[in-house]
Structure 1
Amino acid sequence: MSIKQKQVITTLATGIFTLLSFSVTAQGEQLSDQQNANLKKAIYCMEIMENRPDLSADKKIDILRNECFAEDYIQHSPHVADGRDAVLALFAKRFKRNSQITTSIKRSASQGDLVWLHQHVQRSPEDKGNAVVNIFRMQNGKFAEHWNVVQAVPDTAKNNNTMF
């Protein structure tokens, strides 16, 4: 199976998972229309960032700037400068440097104006990747603030549970 086919399958699987994940919170409560909209938008934006090899790097940046990141975006990751322009510059370099990066959203949740995405991010199909939890504060349908935690997927574990 080619890398592009794997990326298409990942995108489709994520889309199906997304459809199934709407409507309840992590506590089993019904999601509000706004929470559903925030969750759907966050997943859409993550797909643009990580799983759309059919889009040029410039097109991805245009979509992210216009549809996904608030003008006054706040970044909490210590490895990324603050602001929308900084995060878009980081992704522009990454899109051009490594087009094989993919993500698979394993879990998602929404509460109030916050959205959580638990992801498996891989630099290539052979890469074990990282377990990533991204937390976004949404405002007017865009990422307004971001926190994340990243953990490498190890070669071996002391249990038989996966990280996902």
Structure 2
Amino acid sequence: MTQNTLSADNKQLVLHGLAEFAKGNIEVLRDLLHENFIEHSPGNPSGRDAFIEFIADSPVAAGRLEIKRVITDADFAVVHYHMIPPGDERGLAVVDVWRLVDGRIVEHWDVVQPVPDAAEIPHGMF
């Protein structure tokens, strides 16, 4: 498999998973995450089952996700999106970095930032 093919396959895998998750299908994570999934975000648990339990009760599970861009490079997929939890019109700007091996997500990093008032970001957040 070439790097380009791997990148394209991983992009489709992540996009499909995010689309399903955005529809409320949290169980899609059981297929996407490796059982020994490693989480690098502070306060979030590692391990597939612990992470799914955690994320099911988090604002992201009830939020609206507007994907702005997806960048893939072999084993890595980077997703930049606007997450809008219920009751928070501005929402959060999120960048997720996923490392994939054999069609499963094995590691995750993220950067999350509240979207400020539009006057503070004259060139836009996204």
TM-score interval w.r.t. the shorter chain? 0.7 to 0.9
**CA-CA distance at 1:158 after TM superposition:** 3.6
Check the 8 A contact 1:48/1:64 in 2, yes or no.
no
CA RMSD of aligned residues (A): 2.1
Aligned equivalents of 2:34 and 2:85: distance in 1?
27
Aligned residues of 1:118 and 1:134 also touching (Cα < 8 A): yes
Aligned residues: 124
Q: Which residue of 2 aligns with 1:81?
A: 45
Gaps of 5+ in 1: 1-30
* 3-state DSSP of counterpart to 2:57: helix
Alpha-carbon distance in 2 for matches of 1:122, 1:76: 22
1:147-162 matches, within 5 Å, as 147-162=109-124
Which structure has the highest strand share of the two?
2
After superposing on structure 2, the runs of 4+ consecutive aligned residues of structure 1 that deviate more than 2 Å are 91-94, 97-100, 156-159
Change in CA separation of 1:71 and 1:40 when aligned onto 2, cut-off 3 Å = same
Q: Does 1:115 align with 2:77?
A: yes
Q: What secondary structure sits across from 2:122 in the alignment? A: coil
Runs (5+) with no aligned partner, structure 2: none
Question: Per residue, is there more helix in 1 or in 2?
Answer: 1
Whether 2:9 is the aligned partner of 1:37: answer yes
Q: CA deviation at 1:87?
A: 1.0
Match of 1:48 among 20, 27, 41: 20
Rg bigger for which structure?
1
Aligned residue runs from structure 1 range 1-164, under 5 A: 32-49=4-21, 51-53=22-24, 55=25, 60-61=26-27, 63-65=28-30, 67-94=31-58, 100-124=62-86, 127-164=89-126
SS at match of 1:32: helix
TM-score, normalising length from structure 2? 0.87
Residue identity over aligned pairs, in percent, reads: 30
